[in-house]
Copies of this chain bind each other. A is one copy, B any other.
Amino acid sequence: VPKVTPEHRDARRRQILDGARRAFGRFGYEAATVPRLEEETGLSRGAIFSYYPSKLDLFLALAEEDQARLLEVWIEGGFDALVREVVARPEWIGVYLDVPRMLRADPALRDRWRAFNPLGQERLASRIEALRSAGEIRSDVGLETIGKFLGAVYDGICVHLGAGFDVDVDGTLELVRAALAPPAVR
């Protein structure tokens, strides 16, 4: 048996994730069959499933990785930076077009999806709280309301990008800023 180093395992994992992203983005979750995953990753099903127990786990590993990265962009650069990040890579969004249907059909998956990265979510909430305390965004509506509003705008933008429609980034962000501005400075 050849020795498998941690570096080798990391490289293989990367190869699987990158190939799977291409397959999911091109065909959608359902139609990204195991033969297509094999073709895009250049690896056998045996190799793929020795790293991820199922297609769903592989998909969720991609989603968790993306969500961690995007939360970081949001926390560091604000909502504007988040939107600009997804607009800069519209091909990436194809991977997620099947998610609403998947979540609709599977309440357990919905709970799992919502519970991704609790630490990042907490850090984001603290960041928004800090902006409220500093008077940069309004404090007369709840934090959860702000989160749901921004989530709707973000997901709407992702749907438009995914479907191939143009997005008015600057105009939309200007209206989002007006929505969240404290009454005093509006």
Contacts and interface: CB of A to CB of B under 8 A. Distances in A.
A165 B100 CA distance: 10
Give the bracket for the number of chain A residues in contact with chain B. Answer: 35 or more
Contacts of A183: 186
- Assembly stoichiometry (copies): 2
Interface in A73-122: 94, 97-101, 103-104, 107, 110, 114
A11 interface: no
Most buried by B among A159, A162, A175, A183: A175
Contacts of A149: 153, 168, 171-172, 175-176
A10 interface: no
A47 interface: no
Contacts of A141: 171, 174-175
A107 B155 CA distance: 21
Contacts of A107: 164
Contacts of A160: 148, 151-152, 155
B162 A159 contact: no
Interface of A: 28, 30, 94, 97-101, 103-104, 107, 110, 114, 138, 141-142, 144-146, 148-149, 151-157, 159-160, 162-168, 171-172, 174-176, 178-181, 183, 186
